[in-house]
Structure 1
């Protein structure tokens, strides 16, 4: 089968990998000049299978109001006359019940845990390296109430077979020795030993090279995707700046831009861009830097270790498609890394970046078919695109090829929003 994939971020490239491995003729199209140049470029660097949790949770609406008046809040909203933003927030708040949280959490962990198996297998099969580490993730708690609140998440982790350990203040220092330099900051933490870290941009580019050189995948860069043509219940072609492109099947992996492309096909994707920021900081003191990934639960900021760099990612900002770099957002993530690892990196040489996370109101990605029998979706992964990319790509390839998937796809496709 000839497959055309729209988008060369980490989800598009992993989809290409799994489809090509199953013998399909795959072409990937992207407006950028190389893979992973947008959302996949500067993400937090964490591959957080056990940390897969919905943003829509009980109590979030009340917290959102409080965060509006805090300087270093994890969520910021830029007021705009944007009906899509209002609609997304309403849908997200509707998911902030205990019952919806449990359903959404299970779906996310189902995909994420499958993805853990898939990325481990991919790394062994391809031999690619991407400054990766398999040393787990440590969620840090500054307050006792955070330790109490994590009990609900631990129940879901237990049900899904995810290894985890609740640690006290001394035990977190054993996992991340640099925390000994900031005594009294944290009362405990949740350790997820099977989580991983690495450079997503490097991962995606090296996997794209493998796909091209070993699996025959064609990449067409610098090509703008304009619209999809349909006829008699099927996609006929994709109109691009390089002309019309045809295939037997089409896959949309365009992240935050997916809704715009399929809107004219009468497919409504409740995906909204949630802006995130990151800093990439050169390591100057290995003993004062993280060895894997820590997540500061209070500020929702992740700090990950590459070979000789620290990647700090955080802040959720509702600002439509605005990609301006705001210094006040930089101030938040700078404050956190200097508070947790004050001696680890050279802040004067930090690279500041921003990107758009394709969030759904239930935080669950959209993977599967549509009402057009040759149009497929793999999008809406939010902050967990890399975490879920391999499992999503394998699942999509199995569904498209008529194979029995490794996990139950129930509740993952766009049909869940029909009501």
Structure 2
């Protein structure tokens, strides 16, 4: 039986392990944390196709410039003396051209719809409970300018197969009664009925448990230190990896093939092999509030997106999860209190009686962001890697990529894992996506 090592036990790594095991492979997952999905502990609960938009688009630079002067800006970019950051920023600016941004959006929506279908098939096949709701997702607007700006992307998403539609205030408050107290402040909304929400941490944890029952081995508390290739000129075959279990010396581990699903750390491990992954660490913030038990109906039940403040609001049982902000500041996890306070201020204005504001638990997560916002899925190759890239002279025969998903790891997880599993089996895929390293 072919043995595959999946490097990383986040939501991407665990779903990859599941699909590979279901395909009949022997699978070992290697993770430096003590359990699966640690970085998804307080991640966004929205699984939304209707809110997709590449971060690099014609309007992004203005938002970035505002972020230079406001610590609570939704998009904050800290200049650093870091060559990789400068290179990534230049690629990001190239991706913002209207034509390129639309091509990236097309890729994102195709993968999102494919993943949405894969997730539904998975739920039908196995009983995985993760506080999921299938009530749709709504963008609501309290600013006329933002509302008018939603028309064009709504039409484009519709053309790509996403059923997002513009609705009036009456429909918005009917779909989500928690918005009724602020109906006088609303100017409109859009709604995507097929979108979902759920707890990505619970999903990752419970799917990992099912992986173990299916025969997947997990090696926790084990860091991947290096990936070693054959010493020929092309370096096209991985013969082993170096791992370091906690409180032990480094040791060699071998498998037949390897999947790199280590998020931002994928770039560091790939670089000595001549593989240049355009990934930079993007930090998002989340706040989790207790829903007021005396007025649970005053906290929203469906996923809400506040475009003006860049908030994603999800109901998870008796909690309300709010995620916001992207901060480009390297691999830095300390909380920016200005961001945290801005989240709570806005939520208190929206749902003052629906939450217990002083119950807030804040969290920062690091996401592996590509300049295009399109993840890197496929066979690794030397040189610069981007969506659709190939290098027939230096393509690795047993190293695969499933990384660079940015803030959409939970949304893309099942589709990415299913697609990669089919690629590794040399099967035909029913998705038109720019996989990397596939000739």
After superposition, the CA RMSD in angstroms is: 1.5
Residues 130-279 of structure 1 mapped to structure 2, 5 A cutoff = 130-213=130-213, 215-231=214-230, 232=232, 233-242=236-245, 243-279=251-287
CA contact (8 A) 2:151 2:166 kept: no
Partner residue in 2 for 1:78:
78
CA, structure 1 residues 167+183, in 2 after alignment: closer, same or farther (shift >3 Å)?
A: same
Distance 2:333 2:204 in 1: 22
TM-score normalised over the length of structure 1 = 0.95
Give the drift of 1:406: 2.5
Which has the higher mean CA deviation after the structures are superposed, 338-347 or 233-242?
338-347
Give the drift of 1:415: 8.2
Partner residue in 1 for 2:406:
382
SS at match of 1:33: coil
Distance 1:121 1:415 in 2: 26
Distance 2:435 2:283 in 1: 23
Which has the higher mean CA deviation after the structures are superposed, 52-61 or 376-385?
52-61
Distance 1:43 1:229 in 2: 33
Distance 1:71 1:414 in 2: 39
Give the drift of 1:282: 1.1
SS at match of 1:32: coil
Which has the higher mean CA deviation after the structures are superposed, 143-152 or 240-249?
143-152
Distance 2:82 2:276 in 1: 17
Give the drift of 1:79: 3.0
Partner residue in 2 for 1:6:
7
Give the drift of 1:82: 1.9
1:45-104 CA-partner distances (Å, limit 9, x unpaired) = 111122221011112112221233345421112332222222222211111111011100
SS at match of 2:410: helix
SS at match of 2:266: helix
CA contact (8 A) 2:104 2:373 kept: yes
Partner residue in 2 for 1:36:
37
Partner residue in 1 for 2:308:
298
Give the drift of 1:295: 0.7
SS at match of 1:351: strand
Distance 2:349 2:93 in 1: 32
Residues 100-139 of structure 1 mapped to structure 2, 5 A cutoff = 100-139=100-139
Distance 1:261 1:63 in 2: 32
**Runs of 5+ unmatched residues, structure 1:** none
Give the drift of 1:252: 0.4
Residues 323-402 of structure 1 mapped to structure 2, 5 A cutoff = 323-370=333-380, 371-402=395-426
CA, structure 1 residues 189+414, in 2 after alignment: closer, same or farther (shift >3 Å)?
A: farther
Q: Is 1:90 matched with 2:90?
A: yes
TM-score normalised over the length of structure 2 = 0.91
**Runs of 5+ unmatched residues, structure 2:** 246-250, 381-394
CA contact (8 A) 2:71 2:339 kept: no
1:306-362 CA-partner distances (Å, limit 9, x unpaired) = 111100101111110111122111111112211222211112122111110111000
Which has the higher mean CA deviation after the structures are superposed, 176-185 or 252-261?
176-185
Give the drift of 1:195: 0.8
Distance 2:10 2:34 in 1: 12
CA contact (8 A) 2:12 2:413 kept: yes
SS at match of 1:395: helix
Distance 1:72 1:365 in 2: 27
CA contact (8 A) 1:10 1:389 kept: yes
Distance 2:32 2:218 in 1: 11
How many residues matched?
Answer: 413
1:257-314 CA-partner distances (Å, limit 9, x unpaired) = 1100100010000100110111111111311101021110011111100111100101
Give the drift of 1:154: 2.1
Moved over 4 A (4+): none
Which has the higher mean CA deviation after the structures are superposed, 154-163 or 63-72?
63-72
Distance 2:437 2:350 in 1: 40
CA contact (8 A) 2:63 2:75 kept: no
CA contact (8 A) 1:303 1:337 kept: no
Distance 1:143 1:414 in 2: 44
SS at match of 2:275: coil
SS at match of 2:300: coil
